[in-house]
Amino acid sequence: MTYEIYIHVPFCLRRCGYCDFNTYTAPDLGGGASRGNYATMVVREMEVIHRWQDNHGIEEPKASTVFFGGGTPTVLPAADLVRMTGAVRDIWGIADDAEITTEANPDTVDEDYIRELADGGFTRISFGMQSAVPHVLRTLDRTHTPANVEAGVRAADHAGLRSSVDLIYGAPGESLDDWRASVRTAIGLGVNHISAYALTVEPTTKMGRQIASGILPRPDDDDEAAKYEIADDMLAEAGLRWYEISNWARPGYESRHNLGYWRNVDWAGIGPGAHSHYAMPEGSRTYDAHGIRSWDIAHPRMWGQALSMGRTPWQGHETITHDENLEETIMLGLRLREGLDLAGLGRALGRVVAPDAFASLRDRGMITMDGGRITPTRKGRLLNDALIADVFAICDL
Amino acid sequence: MAIEQHNKPGYTDQSLIRNFCIIAHIDHGKSTVADRILQLSGIVPEREMRDRFLDRMDIEQERGITIKSQAVRVPWTFDGTEYTLGMIDTPGHVDFTYEVSRALAACEGAVLLVDATQGIEAQTLSNLYMAIDHDLTIIPVLNKIDLPSAEPDKHAEEIAGLIGCNPSDVLRVSGKTGEGVADLLDQIVMDVPAPNGDPDAPARALIFDSVYDSYRGIVTYIRMEDGELHSREKVHMMGIGMTHEPIEIGVISPDMTPTKALGAGEVGYIITGAKDVSQSKVGDTLTSAVRPASEPLPGYRDPKPMVYSGLFPVDNAQFPELREALDKLKLNDAALVYTPETSVALGFGFRCGFLGLLHMEIVSERLSREFGLDLIQTAPNVTYEVTSEDGSVHHVTNPSEFPDGKIKKIVEPMVAADIILPKEFIGAVMDLCQEHRGQMGTMEYISTERVEMHYRMPLAEIVFDFFDQLKSRTKGYASLDYHEDGEQSADLVKVDILIQGEKVDAFSAIVHRDKAYSYGVMMTKKLRELIPRQQFEIPIQAAIGSRIIARETIRALRKDVLAKCYGGDITRKRKLLEKQKAGKKRMKMLGHVEVPQEAFIAALSTDEPTDRDTKDKIRAAQKKEG
């Protein structure tokens, strides 16, 4: 069994127009949830969650990964990130070969900061690069310059941390050549891991409103498909192969933490709005379900108030039935190069799934089948929702 | 407490009875005046009026049926004598001419109620003519005189010109304030003739309405002509030849009140426990089974549908529910006919016949609202008589029945349309009628401001989109009435729509040759917008026979995936996929192509081709043909 820790840091220096994550620019959100006090609150939640796990017979091994996401975790002092990591070690333990990652805004880190993380046990840093093209960065409200990213990656190299960069494609006004330039620049940084995401516009964001009112053009699916293919070709050529729909890495440099989500492992999500997921132990009397997923109160102040009363700061939870778990296994597995294991699927379904059932998907160029696993082709990645729907149908889900 | 009534049902002399109906255009205030009459008569005490009124609305909504005041027995004292007024409701709708005529046949007088701010409308006029045909005494009344915009003098002139009375004979009332309503009731007693049946003859009663009530079964509204009917006396329906044991007879005053008998001239109801739809038809004559009348009352006929359309459940498993719902609607609606139909595209459903387009809308709306059915409705179709070259004749109520091969002749039904409109819209309406193949007849000024225009038009043109366009081109001021007027031969073709090369029967239409191109272009364009992109390219074509007249292509979908799916996204993503799965069930599979229900619904909507691209394409297609 694998166990991971996600720690959400809901602070940013400014909010980007496309962002709908749970993050805030105010340094103090009340209820004890301030930047200065945040690490203390997170440690308290870990204690509360650990107690809840004990009470429900959930025994977790040492954490194999810790991941700080946001928001911008690096608006906190490096010492705070290290202290929170220390608390994970104290409460659950951290495996010897653990992967410990933080996301970083290229603006907010320097050589010393990164050195301090490395000394505190961090192994990996993921930079929000987004684009190398100034007008695209402006559209995305990003304040860093391409040079900041380069400096950050070099500092990480010196400190012995692995680096990843995130890119976003499909921003209004981004040409195919703009996108090629961004991918080329990212490859030129020499990183071993690159994530590339199609811009998803949520209607409630500033960008969403600008698009609704016609100030900005709406991202186009065909344009995004073309850009996905460009990235996939260029990255593969540079030796970074895809391992998940939006992630490419040199073999051995995949994000273990994120792979955990797609493999449906257990994880504790700490911080406002964070989700957690646990398979229920056999014979659990508390929840008659296959698993449970909970999510923390999204607003930091309410979250902080719940914690100060010693409560698990959940906003809600759902029990996951056997079928729902199966649906999740399929929908997540079909995002991966390692794909979906047919024998495992058959066990979960309680019947053998004949490889023949997938022949038509293969003939339509959606999947390949190898060694009892099905893997999406590039077409199957781009049309992943349709692929998932078809596999659900094959499994009578 | 409501007042005690002196005249008892079954024991009321005909000389004290006055049966009347109210003829009014929609929104001219018929129900307000009717409610005011109930209140003034004392059967609904004043302090209960508001509550009662609301109650009734609630029940209507809850039960989803119209518990109309179909036939209320209202006492009214005039000159010291209590009279019994039978107030009979008429369906206010253009399509229900036959039902209206039966309601009129149950009365001796008609109150012609006209909105003093609007004046006469086409529908009022046709009902008025019908009332005059039935020799009813007409009492002209202007309503809404309390409104500042009322022009009673002007409209009194209009009415006087129509029915040949003095403008001063036109009563003026306000349903809202009650002003003039008592005078109206006095006038009814004075002017409307008493019924004149033979009280000693075998019983004969006219069925003028029949309502299905989910608690009581079929409630049949009757007007006694001759003789008497007693509770527990077996009754016989002369038209359809069936005999029933009545469970209850009674009057409505204002609630259903059981009585021992109903006598000549009285209006009431009968509940027979009949559950079958065909057992209580409007226009039929009810008589005593023990002492039957020899001759039925005149005028019974089976209503004849004018417009046909297919109704299909989105989920084919709902087919039995649809059948049941249609059976129930038919209780209220003798004009509704339906036979099972199978469509390649839509599965099992019913081919339904309606009196007109609005009748069709009412039925489909009730099916979805009251019975919770999710339906796809095909484009309306009239009955064509198609003669093939080999001389065989086909009655085509459905494009799928249109014969292949060479056609010698096609005959389509025509209507005479009467349109009343303010004179400034004459030009706009003439254009509209011409676009719809109308032949202009005469035109008369009914006042200095308003004219009545007469057109002869193909029914097919009216059922499609004419009424909506008439309303929009006249800012809502025009009113329309139409009735059958023979037939004509016409140059019609069947246009088929092909999706991925497969003909979709539900989208086929019979249209005039001149309109085939615009139909083809508009349908293919509409479908291109309505059918979501799929994993392969989808050609959409319109064709006459084997000749393609329009084509659009839906490009293959290249991407549907969401870029991110991390820990916090999984629940939402799973729910989204589950929702898509449910949405897929609402899709119809045409070959490999998933077509959403909206596409079928849009086949009914008939927007004008306004955008330039559509117009260009229509022109190009026509040119190619020319």
> CB-based contact (8 Å) between A326 and chain B?
no
Strands B407-422, B450-458: pairing is antiparallel
Token pair recorded at residue B176:
């809202």
Contact B570 A382 (CB under 8 A): no
pLDDT, averaged across chain A? 93
Give me the pLDDT at residue B125, please: 82
Higher-pLDDT residue of B437 and B63 is B437
CATH of the domain at B236: 2.40.30.10
**Res. A353: pLDDT tops 90:** no
C-alpha distance from B561 to closest chain A C-alpha (Å): 5
Give pLDDT, residue B42: 85
Residue B612, domain member (yes or no): yes
Q: Taking CA atoms, what residue in B is nearest to A331?
A: B574
pLDDT higher than 50, residue B64: no
- The verdict on residue B534 lying in a domain is yes
* Amino acid at position A102, single letter: T
The last residue of one of the domains, among B191, B218, B238, is: B191
B1 belongs to a structural domain: no
Looking at the fold, whether B466 and B506 belong to one and the same domain comes out as no
Distance CA B418, CA B224 (A): 35
pLDDT per residue as tens digits for the range B481-531: 888 899 999 999 999 999 999 998 888 989 999 889 988 998 999 899 889
What is the pLDDT at residue B65? 35
pLDDT score at A311 = 93
**What is A3-259's CATH number?**
3.20.20.70
In a domain? residue B401: yes
Please enumerate in sequence order all residues whose Cβ is within 8 A of that of B215, keeping only pairs 6 or more positions apart, or say none.
none
CA distance B317 to chain A (A): 19
Domain ranges across chain A: 3-259, 330-394
Same domain, B45 and B176: yes
A318 in contact with B, Cβ within 8 Å:
yes
B146 plus B31 within the same structural domain: yes
Contacts of B594 in chain A (CB under 8 A): none
Statement: residue A70 has pLDDT above 60: yes
Q: What percentage of chain B has pLDDT greater than the value 70? A: 90
Question: Do B352 and B311 meet the contact criterion of CB atoms below 8 Å apart?
Answer: yes
- Nearest-CA residue of chain A relative to B560? A383
Angstroms from B573 CA to nearest CA on chain A: 9
Q: Is residue B348 scored above 80 in pLDDT?
A: yes
Beta strands in B492-612 (DSSP E): 492-499, 502-503, 509-512, 538-544, 547-554, 587-590, 593-596
Q: How many CB pairs under 8 A join A and B?
A: 92
Q: Is the peptide bond before B254 cis (omega within 30 degrees of 0)?
A: yes
Angle, in degrees to the nearest 10, between helices A322-333 and B570-585: 100
pTM of the full predicted structure?
0.68
Q: What distance lies between CA A84 and its chain's CA centroid?
A: 19
Among A100, A101, A157, A147, smallest CA distance to A126 is for: A101
Give B555→chain A minimum CA distance, Å.
10
**Residues above pLDDT 90, as percent of chain B:** 47
Give domain status of residue B199, yes or no.
Answer: no
A202 and A253 in contact (C-beta within 8 Å)?
no
Average pLDDT, chain B: 86
Tens digit of each residue's pLDDT (9 = 90 or more) over A306-335 = 999 999 999 999 999 988 999 999 999 999
Q: Evaluate whether A65 touches A99 at the Cβ level (below 8 Å).
A: yes
Given an 8 Å threshold on Cβ–Cβ distance, is B577 in contact with A327?
yes
- Is B476 a residue whose pLDDT tops 90? no
Chain B touched by A385 (CB under 8 Å): yes
A202 has a chain B CB within 8 A of its CB: no
- Give the pLDDT score at B59: 42
Q: Give one DSSP letter per residue of A197-248, joined into a string.
A: EE----TTSHHHHHHHTTSSPPP-HHHHHHHHHHHHHHHHHTT-EEEETTEE
CB-nearest to B558 from A221, A269, A274 is A221
pLDDT higher than 60, residue B246: yes
**Residue B377: pLDDT over 90:** no
- Nearest by CB to residue B567, choosing from A197, A245, A269, is A269
| Structure confidence at residue B276 (pLDDT) | 59
Structure tokens of B468? Answer: 């909506």
For residues B589 and B509, membership in a common domain is answered with yes
CATH code of B458's domain: 3.30.70.240
CB contact under 8 A, B566 and A258: yes
The pLDDT value recorded for residue A283 is: 62
pLDDT band at B96 (very low <50, low <70, confident <90, very high): low
Q: Which of B380, B408, B429 is the last residue of a domain?
A: B380
**Is A214 buried (19+), middle (13-18) or exposed (0-12) by CB count in 10 A?**
exposed
**Do B237 and B256 contact (CB within 8 A), yes or no?**
no
Residue type (1 letter), B255: D
The confidence band for B597, taking pLDDT boundaries of 50, 70 and 90, is confident
- What residues in A contact B570, CB-CB < 8 Å? 261, 275, 277, 293, 328, 332
pLDDT average, residue stretch A196-214: 92
* DSSP annotation string for B182-198: HHHHHHHHHHSPPP---
**Range B229-257 average pLDDT:** 89
Contact B561 A224 (CB under 8 A): no
Are B258 and B350 found together in one domain?
no
Find chain B residues with C-beta within 8 A of A389's C-beta.
Answer: 577, 580-581, 584
Q: Are A275 and A328 in contact (CB under 8 A)?
A: no
Closest-approach residue (CA) in chain B for A197:
B563
Higher pLDDT, A192 or B278: A192
**Alpha-carbon span B486 to B414, nearest angstrom:** 5
Give the residue on A whose Cα is nearest the Cα of B572.
A328
Domain span at residue B524? 493-625
Residue A200: which of B555, B557, B562 has the nearest Cβ?
Answer: B562
With a cut of 50, say whether residue A115 has pLDDT above it.
yes
Q: How confident is the model at residue B179 (pLDDT cuts 50, 70, 90)?
A: very high
**In degrees rounded to 5, what are phi and psi of residue B498?**
-115, 130
Are the beta carbons of B565 and A275 separated by less than 8 Å? no
Query: Are residues B565 and A392, on separate chains, in Cβ contact within 8 Å?
Result: no
Q: Which residues of B120-152 are buried (b: 16+ CB within 10 A; e: fewer)?
A: bbbbbbbbbebbbebebbbbbbbbbbeeeebbb
What would the mean pLDDT of A119-126 be, rounded to a whole number? 97
Which range of B68-77, B293-302, B572-581 scores highest in mean pLDDT? It is: B572-581
Which structure tokens are listed for A46?
């870990």
Query: What pLDDT score does A41 carry?
Result: 96
Q: Residue A85 — pLDDT band, cuts 50, 70, 90? A: very high
Q: What is the CATH number of the domain that holds B134?
A: 3.40.50.300
The segment with the largest mean pLDDT, out of A201-215, A235-249, B115-129, B306-320, is A235-249
Q: How far is B564 from chain A (nearest CA, A)?
A: 7
Query: What does the alpha-carbon distance between residue A113 and residue A117 come to, in Å, rounded to a whole number?
Result: 6
Tell me if A272 sits within 8 A of A11, measured CB to CB: no
Which residues in chain A are contacts of B564 at CB distance < 8 A?
A: 197, 200, 246
Number of domains into which chain B is organized: 5
* Same domain flag for B346 and B235: no
Q: Predicted ipTM?
A: 0.92
C-alpha–C-alpha distance, residues B276 and A394, integer Å: 46
- Residue A274: pLDDT above 60? yes
Residue B185 included in any domain: yes
Whole-number Å distance between alpha carbons of A119 and A104: 17
Residue A311 corresponds to which amino acid? R
Pick A221's closest partner by Cβ from B559, B568, B573: B559
CA distance B64 to A116: 73
* Nearest CA among A166, A126, A164, A117 for reference residue A142: A166
Which residues in chain A are contacts of B584 at CB distance < 8 A?
389
Helix H or strand E segment including B284: none
**Domain contains B234:** yes
Q: What sign for the dihedral angle of Cα B41, B45, B47, B50?
A: negative
Give the nearest chain B residue to A274 (CA atoms): B568
Four-CA torsion A356, A357, A358, A360, nearest 10 degrees: 90
Do the domain assignments include residue B299? no
Q: Is A261 on the interface with B (CB under 8 A)?
A: yes
Nearest to B519 by CA among B594, B617, B401, B430: B617
Tell me the backbone φ, ψ of residue B128, rounded to 5 degrees.
-65, -45
A contact test, residue of B557, B558, B579 with most A CBs within 10 A: B558
Best to test chain A binding among B560, B561, B566, B576 (most A CBs inside 10 Å): B561
Lowest pLDDT segment from A253-262, A381-390, B135-144, B314-323: B314-323
Q: pLDDT for A13-53, tens place per residue?
A: 989 999 999 999 999 988 888 999 999 999 999 999 999 99
Tell me whether A321 touches chain B (CB under 8 Å). no
Count of Cβ atoms closer than 10 Å to residue A211 Cβ = 18
Q: What is the mean pLDDT of residues B144-154?
A: 93
Q: What is the rounded CA–CA span in Å between residue A363 and residue B414? A: 56
pLDDT at B62: 43
When pLDDT is averaged across residues B57-85 and rounded to a whole number, the result is 69
Name the residue among A295, A324, A385 with its Cβ closest to that of B560.
A385
Give how far B584 is from chain A: nearest CA, Å. Answer: 10
The residue that leads in pLDDT, A348 or A199, is: A199
For residue B159, what is the enclosing H or E element? helix B152-163
Give the residues across from B421 on adjacent strands: B451
B63 pLDDT higher than 50: no
Chain B residues within 8 Å of chain A (Cβ atoms):
535, 555, 557-568, 570-571, 573-574, 577-578, 580-581, 584
Q: State residue B128's pLDDT score.
A: 87
Domain boundary among B490, B518, B540: B490
Task: Say whether pLDDT at B390 is over 60.
Answer: yes
Q: What residues of B are in contact with residue A274 (Cβ under 8 Å)? A: 567-568
Query: A330-394 maps to which CATH number?
Result: 1.10.10
Q: Is B207 exposed, middle or buried, given 0-12, 13-18 or 19+ CB atoms closer than 10 A?
A: buried
CB contacts, 8 Å: A328 with chain B: 570, 574
